[in-house]
Amino acid sequence: MHLMSSNCHYPFVSAFYALRLSEFHMDFHKHKGLEIMYVTKGSCTVFLEDSSVQLSQREFIFVDSQVSHRLFVTPDQPCSLLNLEFFCQEKENGQDLRELAANCPEFVDLCRSSKAYHTGTDTRNLGYALKDLISQMENKGEDDPYLRRLLFFRFLIELSKCIRTDGSSAGLSYLRRACTYISDHLTEDLRVPDIAVYAGVNKSYLQSLFRNRLDTTVTDYINKKRLEQAAFLLTNSSASITDIGFSCGYNSRQHFGHTFEKFYGCSPRAYRQLHRTSLSPSTGNAQHVIEEDGTVRKEILESGS
C-alpha cells in the first residue's frame, strides 16, 4: 500500500468526518489519499471496481490511494461512520512515519502489502483511536500538534494490528469454531447468524473468513459438507435415498437429487451403484477355526445348531 516512501513519509490528513447517514449514494471516484471507513452503528456497502464489501458495526475497510470506490447506504439501514483520508508528503510536519516503522512491525507489514484494500473487524481499540483523532482535529481551537501526532500514530498502530490479527490465528480460531458448529448441526436448519454467534463474530466477518480462508461462502460450505455426508451414506449404508437426503438436511428427494447431481455429476442412485462395495457377512455353512499352530480348518455347521 502507498503509505509512505523514501521521500514522502510525513502524513497529511486531507479529509475526515464522523456522521450518521440515513441514505447516501456516490459515484465511483478515487483520490490521492488512503481512506478508512469504520462503521460504529448500522451497515453500509462499499463498492470497488471488481468487488463489493458489506460492513456492519465495528467493521472497517482501508482503501489504498487511487483505488476507485463508492459508498452506498440505504434508507432502511442507516449507518454511522468514522472516516479519515490521508497521504504522505515530502514537507516536514513533525509526524515522521519512519519513527513508527522502526517500532511497529505490523505497520511495516501493512506498508509492504500489495492489496488494494483491507477489510477487518475491530478486535482491539481502533474505533476509539479513530474517534479520538477526529475529535482532536475537529477542535482546532485546542490544537495540540504533539497530541495529534500521538493520536495519529495510535490510530495507525491499532489499524495495523487489527489487519494483522484478522489474517492470523484469531481468524483461524473463529473459522474452526464455525466449522465445528456446522459439522455438529448438519441435519438442522443452519443459519449464518446463528453460526456467527457461536463462533463469536458478526456474520459479515464470518463470511469474509470463509471467502479469504476457504475460497467459498458459508452456504456453499454447508452444502458441500452435507453432500459429502450423503455420499458416505450412499456408499456405506443400506438406507434409502430419500432417508439419506432427509438425514443430511434436505427437505425433499427432488431437492436432494438435483443438488447431488449438480455437485457430483451423477444421481444419488448412480453414485451408489458405482461406488458401493458389497460385503457379504456369510461364510457359507462353515465356521473357520484357527488352531494354535496357525492352521485353519473349517467345521461344517448344521442348520439349527
Q: Are 173 and 123 in contact (CB under 8 A)?
A: no
> pLDDT tens, 81-91?
999 999 999 99
Q: Is 202 helix (H, G, I), strand (E, B) or coil?
A: coil
- Using the predicted structure, report yes or no on whether residue 289 has a pLDDT greater than 80: no
Average pLDDT over residues 158-176: 76
Least confident of 144-158, 159-173, 207-221: 159-173
Q: Are 259 and 227 in contact (CB under 8 A)?
A: yes
**C-alpha grid cell for residue 107?**
505497520
Q: Provide the angle, in degrees to the nearest 10, between the axes of the packed helices 169-184 and 145-166.
A: 40
Least confident of 20-24, 37-41, 97-101, 138-142: 138-142
For the chain, the average pLDDT equals: 86
Q: Decide which of 121 and 305 is more confident.
A: 121
